[in-house]
Amino acid sequence: MRRIDLLSCLPALCVSFALAQSTPTSKTPGPVVSVASGSDAATELAYKDEALVYETLSEIYTYAADGTGEKRTIALMRMQSDAAVKQFTIVGVPFASSTERVVIHSLRVRHADGSTVETPAADGMEMPQPISQQAPFYSDLKRMQIPVRSLRVGDKLEYDVSVVRTSSEAPNEFWGVETFAKNIVILKQTVELHVPQSKYVQVWSPNHKPETHDEGGMRVYRWSSSQLKPTPKKAENSPQGPQLPEIQWTTFRNWASVGDWYRNLSKGRAEPSSAVKAKADELVAGLKTDEEKIHALYNFVSLQVRYVGVAFGVGRYQPHQSGEILLTGYGDCKDKHTLLQALLKAEGIHADPALVGAGIKLNEEVPSPGSFNHLITAIHQNGKTLWLDTTAEVAPYGMLVNTIRDTKGLIVREGNDALLEKTPTNPPFDNVDKFEAEGTLNDKGELTAHSKLTLRGDTEISIRAAVRQVAPVQMDQMMQYLSSAMGFGGTVSDTKTTPAEKTEEPLTLEYDYKRAPYGDWPNRQIIPLSPFLSLPGVDEENPPKEAIELGGPKTEIAISKIHLPSGAGAKLPPDIHEKSEYGSLDKTYKLTNNTIIVERTMTVAVKEVPAADWKKYQTFFKVTAGRDDPWIRLTGLGGDTSIEDTDPAVASMMQDAENAGKRSDWQQENALLNQIEKLNPKEPYLYSMRGYVFMRQMKFEDAESNFRRELAAHPKEDNVWHLLVAVLQMRKDNRGVEKALRDATSSLPEEKSFPLQLQDLLTKDGRSEEAVSVMRDAIKRQPDEATLKAQLGELLLRTKKNDEAVTTLKPLLDSSEISVVNSAAYALSNAGAHLDLAEQAERRAVSMLEERIGTPAADTGDGTVRDCYELISFWDTLGWILYQEGKLDAAEPYLRSSWNNSYVQEIGLHYGHLLEKQNKLDEAHTVYSLALLGTKQGVPGIGEELAAATKRTGKKKGGDFPPLQTLRTYPLKSKEKSHSYVTLQLRLGVGGIEDVVRIRGNDGLDSHLAEVRTLDLKSQGIPADSKAKLLRRAILSCGTSGCEVVLIPMESAADPAL
């Protein structure tokens, strides 16, 4: 098998659910508002620096009693810059095509000479909304785009457009919101609301009293405002987080009626069909408690039912039938909840839908569906509410993403009125990010290291999502970007992660890291391998107006170990111990056995800091995240150990700019960098830092120009090349990306990541032949780099150059890197070439890896566990080669042992083929079927191949298949009075368990270890002629119903939390 790499798709929050009626409409046209024809010279002079000025902006909402209606927008704008002209060259009007239509009353340009140019309504073109062009989301959301004729700087643009709602979103109901503009000059803005006099409508605008009058059976509300403050040259702090709208209206009388509305829409949808009942029974087979069953059903819906938004008309609000969702295997948030509710109901467990607003501030005084854009599950048990959100797919059981925590959701209870209830404030476990790095620094200043990132909590979800959607070949690119975001400037390679789907355990990412030179090598100074701390800073010249979000409680741990060259010493900075009501920072330095060890732990105690306390918080920030790592001075290495003469003011400003960047104060950082440029335009890292500021502000053109300017002076900065490539990718400039990768390859010929990225880009562009040329050139520069040759071999096979591919791959069988040998042997086996040599080489690789593992102590650490995990992939490769040679009996123990220790899809496919060849069709069918549920490794087409194999081998005799976890579960005879669990590490040999130790948890269950040692684990399998010793991790769980040992899948075994 190819070396096991781990993958895979973050669904957005359920944007299709309950899109607020921001464009309500009607069959009755609204009144036409006259537009001012100009503005006096004084006004024009006052706003001469603005990109554009709205002279008038009027928005008129008109509703009929049945909920249909119209939103009419009338505007007159002065175009005062090229940017404004570019922005309004096309006027876009969003609408939902199944329930709305756009009416263009007029669109004209008034030139300065008094002439006008009309744009005909017929020029308008319907286009999909951007959200509907991004899978997984399909909708009737459209955008009417009208290209404006003859628009240029100095013109006035006047338009009058309506969106007419032809079908109500809820029968006889309507709702909406409006907020006055804050960040653009508007000389006169009005909002009008026209509603039937006989209709109950609650109108809420406590800070803006409307004028009201009645006309023609309609009640009219009219609000007037203006925004006359010029755009400040320095951005001001604006309120952070969700805000209440200034105007809100609804026809719903209370929250119970909102709940009734959704209850009617979803009625009968969660009734379990026979297929749903059968699936529920299959998923909970052998489980005893409700909690275990809920957990199993949640995992299935969360991980196995894909998020796909399908929002057409009422489908934006109404879920599909649960049986249909199960059959299709996809759905949006309300669909996924509905299937989970049906599965739970089939097992006698009651659940309710809960409407929540992600990023929406709930106004409890105004009951409205517009307060919600997402739907999750609420289960009431033992006087508490369990909240579950299957939409995020990779969220651990019971965890809600940050945007829907500590807010109120509307639980639509069966048989009772809906009620508002607060969601949990914190995750169901400690929020911990842990970074560990161990590296070696040589006497040339080159650092090579291995890093490990273990995540549990909020950061975990976003990174899990990224891991799940990234292909294995792109894993290093993803980790490179993440490494840069953490503050590291070197090169990442050989990234491995635990599977994104294993949400019961923390997510772990491991990778190799290289940087040359490291730190300030000419002056023999280095810093620890530690990521940025995540605390936000405060702009003291522009204090916050709202609470400062800290995201606590949480803990960030960093452990750095750097082995120094022989004879080197170090002058260590003093330890740091800071504590306040907001958190703490403890940082210690040690020099032990020629190794610098720096351990840092920061705790954040609170979720937010009141704005009034910003000065007190800033004091804490400055001594924690706002303070740079001090240099560690190395001794005994020669070189210039005195700091080069430099302008102290520039050095201090660079430090201040870097600190501002760490707290995401991009404006302050950019201001400092501009000052530095005036003092010393050749200051190293000046332009790369400024480019990064622009990159974070989405100003990609400015970012690109600054990165290029930095590279013109420092073309060997690999991290800047990576940033340039990243910003070009964000601009979707594939030609630019290609050229940058070629230039980076030329500037850094010894760096392998750039040609690997380039060949990947060319291959995806259908230019595999050019990709082959790129790899050939890279190999000329680095003739000893086996990774490049292995990639070339794969490309040659893809381009049907089998003979050359075999010629390229064959020498790799003699590589000293056994992982390269394994990859080459596996590729040759799939090509059916040199199988005898591949077998010989793979046996050598297996033997070397088994020898490296040796007979480890049962408490050996993660490195050996990773080797054991790699060994099972080597067994699969050897078994597959033997199978291709027709040596079925010899292949069997290797493929069986690899399958029983991994349950990886590709390995299951191989083992199934063997069983099928041996005419053991029932066993083959079982393995194929279980493999469909096994660990995915991103192999193209493997799901379809397994499904075909399952069908080909027929129905398994004897009923359903056991869940995969059942195959890894071993019951004990003993019991405990209360529930508890510990993590064990087992050493396995051919004869079974040789030793057992507890590596996590207290000693309360140690009395059961003797019985664990007697378990028969021979079925897990080690080939009979193997000298291998495998380390397996397991959970020993005990309670009143008994104790059991559950083996942890090998792909998760290196997780330090287990």
- What's the token pair of residue 615? 């000065």
Cβ–Cβ < 8 Å for 742, 751: no
pLDDT tens for each residue of 850-881: 888 877 776 666 567 778 888 988 999 999 99
Percentage of the residues of the chain whose pLDDT score is greater than 90 = 44
What predicted TM-score, i.e. pTM, was given to this entire model? 0.59
Q: Which of 461-470, 833-842, 1025-1034 has the lowest average pLDDT?
A: 1025-1034
Contacts of 699 (CB under 8 A, 6+ apart): none
Contacts of 37 (CB under 8 A, 6+ apart): none
pLDDT at residue 314 is higher than 60: no
Cα–Cα nearest to 798, from 837, 827, 819:
827
pLDDT band at 237 (very low <50, low <70, confident <90, very high): low
Beta bridge partners of 76: 56, 158
DSSP assignment string, 998-1043: EEES-GGGGGGHHHHHT---GGG---TT----EEEEEEEEEETTEE
If phi over 0 gives left and psi between -120 and 50 gives alpha, with beta otherwise, what is residue 638?
Answer: left
Cα–Cα nearest to 196, from 218, 174, 212:
218
Residue 1009: Cβ-neighbour burial (10 angstroms; 0-12, 13-18, 19+) = middle
pLDDT band at 598 (very low <50, low <70, confident <90, very high): very high
pLDDT at residue 612 is higher than 50: yes
- The stretch 416-438 carries a mean pLDDT of 95
Cα–Cα nearest to 753, from 476, 1004, 505, 1003:
476
Task: Provide the 8-state DSSP code for 935.
Answer: B
Q: Which of 7-11, 657-661, 741-745 has the lowest average pLDDT?
A: 7-11
Q: Buried (b) or exposed (e) across 860-881, using 16+ Cβ within 10 A?
A: bebebbbbbbbbbbbbbbbbbb
Q: Is 726 helix (H, G, I), strand (E, B) or coil?
A: helix
Q: Is 578 helix (H, G, I), strand (E, B) or coil?
A: strand
- The stretch 70-95 carries a mean pLDDT of 92
Give Cα 1047 to chain centroid, integer Å: 29
- The stretch 382-395 carries a mean pLDDT of 92
pLDDT at residue 349 is higher than 60: yes
Cα distances from 776 to residues 423, 485, 683, 781, 793, in angstroms, run 57, 32, 38, 9, 10
pLDDT tens for each residue of 906-962: 899 999 999 999 999 888 888 888 887 777 654 556 777 888 888 888 754 434 455
- What's the token pair of residue 795? 């490309």
Q: How far apart are CA 822 and CA 802, in angstroms?
A: 19
Cβ–Cβ < 8 Å for 202, 212: no
Residue 1040: Cβ-neighbour burial (10 angstroms; 0-12, 13-18, 19+) = exposed
- What's the token pair of residue 503? 């949400």
- The stretch 643-651 carries a mean pLDDT of 57
Q: How far apart are CA 485 and CA 497, in angstroms?
A: 18
Cα distances from 240 to residues 68, 236, 317, 332, in angstroms, run 34, 12, 29, 28
The packing angle between helices 274-284 and 333-346, to 10°, is: 70
pLDDT at residue 884 is higher than 80: yes
- The stretch 24-44 carries a mean pLDDT of 41
pLDDT of 327 reads 86
Q: Which of 264-268, 439-443, 648-652, 701-705 has the lowest average pLDDT?
A: 648-652
333 backbone dihedrals φ, ψ, rounded to 5°: -60, -45
Q: How far apart are CA 1035 and CA 505, in angstroms?
A: 12
Find where tokens 């008994």 sit: 1042
pLDDT of 509 reads 96
pLDDT at residue 58 is higher than 90: yes
pLDDT tens for each residue of 653-698: 887 887 777 677 778 888 888 888 888 888 888 898 889 888 888 8
- The stretch 755-784 carries a mean pLDDT of 89
pLDDT of 606 reads 92
- The stretch 954-977 carries a mean pLDDT of 66
pLDDT tens for each residue of 115-130: 999 999 988 887 765 5
Q: Which of 174-183, 412-421, 1047-1056 has the lowest average pLDDT?
A: 1047-1056
* Helix (H), strand (E) at residue 388: strand 384-388
pLDDT tens for each residue of 533-585: 888 888 877 788 888 888 889 999 999 999 999 989 998 888 999 999 999 99
pLDDT of 315 reads 47
Q: Three-class SS string for 230-242? A: CCCCCCCCCCCCC
Q: Is 73 helix (H, G, I), strand (E, B) or coil?
A: strand
Length of the chain: 1058
pLDDT at residue 310 is higher than 70: no
pLDDT tens for each residue of 485-529: 898 988 999 999 998 889 999 999 999 999 988 988 877 889 999
pLDDT tens for each residue of 133-150: 443 444 567 888 899 999
Q: What is the CA radius of gyration of the chain?
A: 32
Task: Name all domains of the chain by residue range, CATH numbers in brackets.
Answer: 42-233 (2.60.40.3140), 257-422 (3.10.620.30), 432-644 (2.60.120.1130), 966-1052 (no CATH)
pLDDT of 914 reads 93
pLDDT of 932 reads 79
Percentage of the residues of the chain whose pLDDT score is greater than 70 = 87
The packing angle between helices 818-831 and 802-809, to 10°, is: 150
Find where tokens 């797919």 sit: 393
pLDDT band at 978 (very low <50, low <70, confident <90, very high): low
The answer to whether the bond into 130 is cis (omega within 30° of 0) is no
- The stretch 47-74 carries a mean pLDDT of 94
pLDDT at residue 820 is higher than 80: yes
pLDDT of 219 reads 97
Cα–Cα nearest to 760, from 727, 798, 806:
798
pLDDT of 879 reads 93
pLDDT of 839 reads 93
Average pLDDT, the chain: 84
- The stretch 824-831 carries a mean pLDDT of 86
pLDDT at residue 454 is higher than 50: yes
CA-CA-CA-CA torsion sign (733, 734, 736, 741): positive
Cα–Cα nearest to 501, from 950, 937, 1037, 134:
937
Cα–Cα nearest to 299, from 269, 279, 316, 277:
279
pLDDT at residue 41 is higher than 70: no
- What's the token pair of residue 682? 């050749």
Contacts of 76 (CB under 8 A, 6+ apart): 35, 36, 54, 55, 56, 57, 156, 157, 158
pLDDT of 12 reads 31
- The stretch 383-410 carries a mean pLDDT of 93
pLDDT of 638 reads 57
Cβ–Cβ < 8 Å for 295, 386: no
pLDDT of 93 reads 92
